[in-house]
Amino acid sequence: MERGRHRPQQETGECTEIGTWLNGGDDAVEICQQLQMSTSTWFRRRRQSGGIRVTDAKRRRELERERVQFKRMVANQALDIDMLKVIAKGRS
């Protein structure tokens, strides 16, 4: 089987699709073979996604990006404060 990278939205969509097929009475092994994925990959993705929807996965990724930006801003502010303290000590 060829290895490939998937976006979280694709993985969540595939898990939802497989769940729909399973509710219809299909076999998990056959479904995974149709999607060219191993059953262990599907179980891992299902466990990681926790049953979230594609839109929720997109929103989560956006929030993670915002969090990284805020952390960077706070770090820069802390450096600015430290720099100003050093400058203030030098003037006294």
**Within a domain: 81:** yes
pLDDT at residue number 6:
58
Average pLDDT of the segment spanning 4-26: 61
Using only C-alpha atoms, the chain has a radius of gyration, in whole angstroms, of: 23
Average pLDDT of the segment spanning 62-78: 96
pLDDT at residue number 32:
77
Number of domains within the chain: 1
pLDDT per position as a tens digit, 28-56: 777 777 777 787 877 777 777 666 666 77
Q: What b/e readout covers 30-59, taking b as 16+ CB neighbours within 10 angstroms?
A: ebbeeeebeeebbeebbeebeeeebeebee
81/86 Cα distance (integer angstroms):
9
**Within a domain: 2:** no
Residues 70, 28 contacting (CB under 8 angstroms): no
What is the residue range of 36's domain? 8-91
Residue 85 banded pLDDT, cuts 50, 70, 90? very high
**Within a domain: 1:** no
Read off the pTM.
0.45
Highest average pLDDT, of 5-9, 23-27, 44-48, 62-66, comes from 62-66
**Across the chain, what does the average pLDDT equal?**
77
